[in-house]
Amino acid sequence: MDAQAVIESLDFTLLNHEATEEELEGFVSRANSSEVGAVCVFSEHAEFVKERLNPEIKLAVVAAGFPIGSSDINEISHAISSAVESGVDEIDVVLEPRKEENFPNENELELLKEMRSAAGECVLKVILETPLLQEREMRAVARMALAAGVDFIKTCTGKRGGCSDDAAAIFAYEVMRHERAFGEKLGVKLSGGIGNMDDVNRLTSIVNQQDPSIIKDGSRRFRIGASSLLDSIEGKS
């Protein structure tokens, strides 16, 4: 990917509950001037950001706990529904992993189904926190999430480990596998410790080895979540 394609696939992120209006103003101004694909903020900042964001840039919010996701289905449903009602375009939500050997099971399936229902027509990106998972768990929960109707499977929050090469490969493969089995073209969001074009080039090469159509289809199927990557691309400190 060239730098412009990365920016168009970027979920430019500011996740700080204590962010001031001045910080949010600067964040939105930067997003507008760089013409990023989307911005991602906490729900309480959605209205402020939406009023100032260029309409062609998607507004995503993180709902129902971050970096530790809620396990309460009612809390999850209410948080997502409230975000949708505020007029956002996309929802990012953590499916909190369990340490039990039976993860994932019907508990996770019910949560995923409720996430999908509550998100309505909004794009739903479910964070599967791969740094905490073994390969079997990554594959199982990715398949479950895709079957439940999420639009993107996202590698991690970045708060409990970064996006590994293995996670990128596994998620790209599982999206490819799902398309072949069910005919649905779903997406991958890579997030966690992606700070420069070297990281991007390495990870996108891994995705392309599994299924080049994911990145070729653009931001509809491929996203990068980052807060500092834009600085690196544009040469700003």
- Residue 74 belongs to domain with CATH number: 3.20.20.70
Find the catalytic residue in 50, 58, 125, 154.
154
* Type of residue at 83: A
> Is 170 a residue whose pLDDT tops 60?
yes
The domain tally of the chain equals: 1
- pLDDT, residue 92, reads 98
Rounded to an integer, the average pLDDT of 175-198 is 97
pTM over 0.75: yes
pLDDT in tens, 127-166: 999 999 999 999 999 999 999 999 999 999 999 999 999 9
In terms of Cα–Cα distance, which of 202, 136, 147, 204 is closest to 175? 147
- CB under 8 Å to 18, separation ≥6 — which residues? none
CB atoms within 10 A of CB 166: 12
Q: What percent of the chain has pLDDT over 90?
A: 99
Identify the sign of the CA torsion 123, 129, 131, 135. negative
More confident residue, 214 or 237: 214
The answer to whether the CB of 197 falls within 8 A of the CB of 9 is no
pLDDT of residue 235: 86
Percent of all residues in the chain with a pLDDT value above 70, rounded to a whole number: 99
Options 11, 92, 151, 199, the catalytic residue: 92
* Mean pLDDT of the 53-72 span: 97
Collect contacts of 70-77 with beta carbons under 8 A, ≥24 apart. Answer: 70/94, 70/96, 71/96, 71/111, 73/110, 73/111, 73/114, 76/111, 76/114, 76/115, 76/118, 77/114, 77/117, 77/118
Residue 52 CB neighbour total at 10 angstroms: 13
Instruction: Band the pLDDT of 19: cuts 50, 70, 90.
Output: very high
Per the structure, the complete domain to which residue 102 belongs is given by 3-234
Mean residue pLDDT of the chain comes to 97
What residue ranges in the chain does DSSP mark as E strands?
10-14, 38-42, 58-63, 90-94, 123-127, 152-154, 187-191, 222-226
Q: Is 189 a catalytic site residue?
A: yes
Helices 106-119, 135-148: inter-axial angle, 10-degree rounding: 40
216 catalytic per annotation: no
For residue 41, what pLDDT band results from cuts at 50, 70 and 90?
very high
Per-residue pLDDT at 237? 45
Annotated catalytic residue 99: no
The active-site residue out of 50, 58, 125, 189 is 189
Report the DSSP beta bridge partners of residue 226: 12
